[in-house]
Chain A
Amino acid sequence: MKRTIFALFALLAVAALGAQNFTIVNGTEPVSLDPHAVEGVPEHRIYMALFEGLTVGDPRTNRALPGIAESWSFSADYKTVTFKLRKATWSDGVEITADTVVKSWLRKMDPKNAFQYADFPAYYIAGGMDYLSGKAGREAVKIRAVDKHTFEVQLVGPIPFFPDMIVHYAFAVVPMHSIEKHGNDWIKAQNWVSNGPFVLKEWKPQERVVVVKNNRYWDAKNVALRQITFLANDDVNVGYNLYKAGAADWIDTVPLELMSQIKLDKNFHVYPQYGTYYYIINVTRKPLDDPRVRKALAMAFDKKVLVEQVTQGGQVPANSFVPPSTGYTPAKGYGFDPATAQKLLAEAGYPGGRGFPTFAILYNTSASHKKIAEFVQAQWKANLGIDVTLVNQEWGTYLNTRSQSHNFDIARAGWIGDYLDPSTFSDMWVTGGTQNDGLYSNKRYDELLEKSRTTSGAERMKLLMDAEKILIDEDMAIIPIYFYVTQNMIDLAKWDGWYPNPMNQHPWKYIRPKK
C-alpha cells in the first residue's frame, strides 16, 4: 500500500514537472536572437522570454509595467522621462546600470549597425534622427545616465505613451559587456547572457529555440515555467496537428478550412486585435481620384456577410481605419448602403456603372486574400454594375508593386499596430509617408498630425480623431474591411496567467500551470 502511494506521488511529481515545460509553435524561423536585429512576431515572443526592457507589457492590457525600471516620472511638459532602475543583474551576475541602457539604445541607433527598426527609437528621442542619419555623433542623442540607477531621456515632443512604447524590442537593453567581448557570437548559446525571466539553452536553426529559467532574474521566485520550447514552423496545418497531438501547448493560427469545427473548441480564443485589414486605393488614378467613387466602392459590399461567410474567424467589420482604444473613438465611416453607393457613382458620372473603366484588385498570393477579393468583386458587380479583375503576386513582387512602382489600382493590405496608440495608424497617411502606398495627400490631415506631436492627453486624441474623419469620412482614402482578431488555441484549464489581449503579447513570466 505504502509503495503504491509512493509511486502515485512520484507520478504526480513527474506530471507536475512536465507541466512546467511549455511548447509553442512559434511560426517562421527567427531572423536573429539579437533583440536589436529582430523584427516580427516569432522573434518578439522569444525576446519576451530572454530579455526585459525598462518596461514590460501588462499581460492583460499591454500597457507598461515596471521592468528594469522600478518607476518613472515625466517632466511637466511630458518631454523628459526619468527612469529609476532597480538593482538587477545579467544572468552572469554583472550589474545592469543606467550606463548599460544608454549604450544599448545607442547601439540600436548606430548607423554602422544598420538595424531595421532603428528609426523607431530615433524618431522619438531628441537627436536620434541626426545620429542615425550620420549628421551628428552619438553625443547628439539626448539620453544620459544621471547616476548609476537613474536614466533620463529627452523626447522630440510630449509623448505620454512613451513607457508603453518602449515595451517594444527596438528599445531593448542588451548585455554590452558580452557584446564587446564576443562580437557577433554573443548570441551563441555558449556565450549567452541576458536579463529576462529565461536564458537561452539551445538554438537549432530551422528546428527550435529552447530557453530555461534564469535564476538570477530579479523576480525569479514568481516565474513558474522551467523551460519553453519555440518550434520553428510556419505551416498552419502542421501547427494544428502538433497542438491536437499534444506536442504543443499554444498555437496562434488555425487552418481556415477547419474553422467551423475549431470554433466549437473551448480552447479556441478569439479576441479583437489592434490591427486592420483594408484596401489601399491609388488615389492618383482616374476614376479612383474622385472621393465619391471611393465612397461608393466602400459602401457597396457587405462587410458583415464577408466576415460571417468568408473569413469566418470572428473578425469585426470595420468602417474606420484606426481600431477603437481607450480615449479614442474611431471615425464613423460608411456602412453597407448600395442605394447611396449607386447614387454617388451616378453623381461621379457613371450611372449604373456605365462607362466605368475596368480596374484590378491586387493581393499577395494566398487563398484567404483571394476569397475576400472574389467576394468584393462579386458584390461590386451586383451592387454597382462595375467590373473588377483580380491580380495576385508573390510577396516580394507584390510589395514592390505596392510601395515602389505604385502600379496598382486597389491593393489589399493589413496593419497591426506596433504599440497601443492610434498614431501607429494615423502616421501612415501623412503626405510622403513610407507606408502611404496609395499616395494620399491632404494638407489639413498633415497639419493635424503635425499638431498632435506637440500636444498630449485628450487634446491630442481629439486631433487624431479629427484627422481620421478627414481620412475616412471626407476622403475615403482607403477602404477599411475588418479589424483583425487573435485566434489562439491554448488550454486555459491547464494554464494560468495567459490572457487574450489586443496586441496578442503574452509575457512568459506570468504563465503557469494551474494547480
Chain B
Amino acid sequence: MSRYFIRRVLSLIPTLFVIITLSFFLIRLAPGGPFAREKDVPEIILQNLLKRYNMDQPLAQQYLRYLGDILRWDLGPSFRYRDLSVNEIIDSGLPVSMLLGVTALAMAVFSGISVGIISALKQNKWPDYVAVSIAVIGISVPLFVMGPVLQLFIGMRWKILPMGQWISIHGIKAIILPAITLSFPYFAYIARLSRASILEVLRSDYIRTARAKGLKESDVVWRHVLKGALLPVVTYLGPAFSGIIVGSVVVETVFLVPGIGRPFIQSAINRDYTLIMGSVIVYSAVLILANLVVDVIYGFLDPRISYK
C-alpha cells in the first residue's frame, strides 16, 4: 500500500514535466503577448521590458531557466501585476478558493448523497420526483443566474446573509451564499449519480443475499448498499475537487471573493505567461493529487481492489 502510494506520488513528476513543457511552448503560440496594448509600446520600452523579464534570450534558454526556477518553487514575477510574484498571487488566492471549494464540495457530497438515497429508496414516489426536479434545476441553471438570485433574495431583500465580499469584512458567514451557489450543480450531479448507482446496487445479488439472511433494512442500506453505490460518486470527486477549486471564477466574480479563479482566467486574457504557467501547474497538481486520494479511497470501499 505505502509502496503503491510512493510510486504514484513519484509518477507526478514526469506527468507535471510533460504538462509544463507543453504549456510553456503552447501559450507562446497564441497571438499577442503580455506587453501588447491598444497604444503600442514603443520599441525602446519593449526591448527594456523583454530584457527585464529575460524574454530577450532564446526560447530554449528561457525554458531551461524556467525549469530551474520551478525546482525551487519560484514561479517568477507576474507580467501584469508588476509588484506581485506568481507565488504571492497563488499564496493569497489559493487558500480562499480552497476554503470555498472544500465547503461547497462538502455541502454537495452530504446533501447530494442524502437526496440520492432518499430518492432511490422511494423510487417513483413523490420524494423521488421532488429530488429529481431539484437535480435537473441544479444542472441546468447556470451559476451566474443562481448567484444573483440568491443575492437578490437572501442578501438584498431579506438581508439574512451578506450579498458579497469575503471573510475580512463579514466573518465566516460570508462563505455561505457563495458556497451554496458553487455547490449546487455538484450537488445535483452527485444526487443523480448516487440515485442511479444505489438503484443498480439494490438489484444486485449480494443485496438479495443480505436481505435473504434477514438483515434489517437499515443495515442493508448503510453497510452494503452505500459502500458499493458510492464508488462512482468517489470517482467523480477527483475532477470535481480540482474543478470546484480552480473553476469557481463565476462565483468569485458575483460574490467578490478574492480567490484564485479570477486571476487564473484573467492571466489567459492578459497573456500573463508566468501566471498562466502557475495556474496550469497548480490545477494539474490538484487534479493529480485528488485522483490519487480517490484511488486510495476505492480500496476502503471495495475489497476487490488491492494495491500492488
Known: A34-B82, A132-B45, A205-B84. A114 touches B51 (CB 8 A): yes
**A114 B45 Cβ-Cβ under 8 A:** yes
**Given the known A-B contacts A32-B82, A114-B48, A205-B84, are A241 and B151 also in contact in the complex, defined by CB atoms under 8 Å?**
yes
Q: How far is the CB of B165 from chain A (nearest CB, A)?
A: 8
Which residues of chain B come closer than 8 Å to A435, judged between CB atoms?
Answer: 38-40
Residues of B contacting A29 in the complex (Cβ-Cβ under 8 angstroms): 81, 262-263, 266
Flag whether B284 is at the interface (Cβ < 8 A): no
Does A357 have its Cβ within 8 Å of any Cβ on chain B? no
B114 in the interface (beta carbon within 8 A): no
Q: Which residue of B lies closest to A246 (CB)?
A: B156
Interface string of B146-165 (1 = CB under 8 A from A): 00100110011000000111
B120 smallest CB distance to A (angstroms): 39
Which of B57-65, B126-134, B179-187, B252-260 is found at the contact surface with chain A? B252-260
- For A242, the closest partner residue in chain B by CB is B164
Interface pair B163/A241, CB less than 8 Å apart: yes
Q: How many residues of A contact B (CB 8 A)?
A: 50
Residue tally, chain B, CB below 8 Å to A = 48
Q: Which of A215-244 contact B (CB under 8 A)?
A: 231-233, 235, 237-238, 241-242, 244
**A114 interface neighbour in B49, B258, B266, Cβ under 8 Å:** B49
Do A403 and B40 touch (CB < 8 A)? yes
Greatest chain A CB density within 10 A among B37, B45, B52, B254 is at B45
Closest-CB distance, A119 to chain B (whole angstroms): 5
Known contacts: A119-B45, A241-B163, A397-B30. The answer to whether A31 contacts B148 by CB under 8 A is: no
Q: Is B31's CB within 8 Å of the partner chain A?
A: yes
Complex Cα distance, B151 from A238, in Å, reads 10
Chain B residues near A73 (CB, 8 Å)? none
Q: Mark A37-74, 1 if CB is under 8 A from B, else 0.
A: 10100000000000000000000000000000000000
Determine the residue in chain A with the shortest Cβ distance to B260: A206
The answer to whether B52 touches A119, judged by C-beta atoms less than 8 angstroms apart, is: no
The residues of A that contact B227 with a CB separation of less than 8 Å are: none
CB distance from B29 to the nearest CB of A (A): 11
Whether the pair B49, A187 counts as a contact (CB closer than 8 A) is: no
- Please give me the residue from chain B that is nearest to A415 by CB atom: B38
B253–A118 CB distance below 8 A: no
Does the CB pair B80–A31 fall under 8 Å?
Answer: yes
Contacts of B24 in A (CB 8 A): none
Most chain A beta-carbon contacts within 10 A, residue among B39, B49, B164: B39
Tell me whether B32 and A396 are in contact (CB under 8 A).
Answer: yes
Given A112-B48, A238-B254, does the pair A204, B83 have CB atoms closer than 8 Å? Answer: no
Bound together, the chains give a CA A472 to CA B49 distance in angstroms of 36
Chain A residues whose C-beta falls within 8 Å of the C-beta of B258 in the assembled complex: 204-207, 232
8 Å CB interface, B190-227 against A: none
B276 CB → nearest A CB, Å: 12
Q: Is A399 positioned at the interface, with any CB of B under 8 Å from its CB?
A: yes
Residues of B within 8 A of A397 (CB): 30-32
Which interface residue of A28, A206, A232, A415 has the most chain B CB atoms within 10 A? A206
CA distance A435 to B151 in the complex (A): 43
Q: Decide: B253 and A119 in contact? CB cutoff 8 A.
A: no
Nearest-Cβ distance from residue B275 to partner chain A, whole angstroms: 12
Assembly CA distance A241 to B166 (angstroms): 16
Smallest Cβ-Cβ distance to B31: which chain A residue:
A400
Contacts of B45 in A (CB 8 A): 114-116, 118-119, 132
Interchain CB contact under 8 A, B253 and A235:
yes
B137 CB within 8 Å of chain A: no
**Does B9 reach chain A (CB closer than 8 Å)?**
no
**Cβ–Cβ < 8 Å partners of A112 in chain B:** 48, 52
Check if B81 sits within 8 Å of A238, measured CB to CB.
Answer: no
Given contacts A112-B48, A241-B151, 7 further A-B contacts (CB under 8 A): A29-B262, A32-B82, A34-B82, A114-B48, A205-B258, A396-B36, A399-B38
A-B contact pairs, 27 of them (CB 8 A): A31-B80, A31-B82, A32-B82, A34-B82, A37-B82, A37-B83, A39-B37, A114-B45, A114-B49, A116-B41, A116-B45, A118-B45, A119-B45, A205-B89, A206-B262, A231-B165, A235-B253, A235-B254, A238-B253, A241-B164, A247-B165, A396-B31, A396-B33, A396-B269, A397-B30, A415-B38, A434-B39
Interface residues of A (CB under 8 A from B): 28-29, 31-34, 37, 39, 111-116, 118-119, 129, 132-134, 184, 187, 204-207, 231-233, 235, 237-238, 241-242, 244-245, 247, 394-397, 399-401, 403-404, 413, 415, 434-435
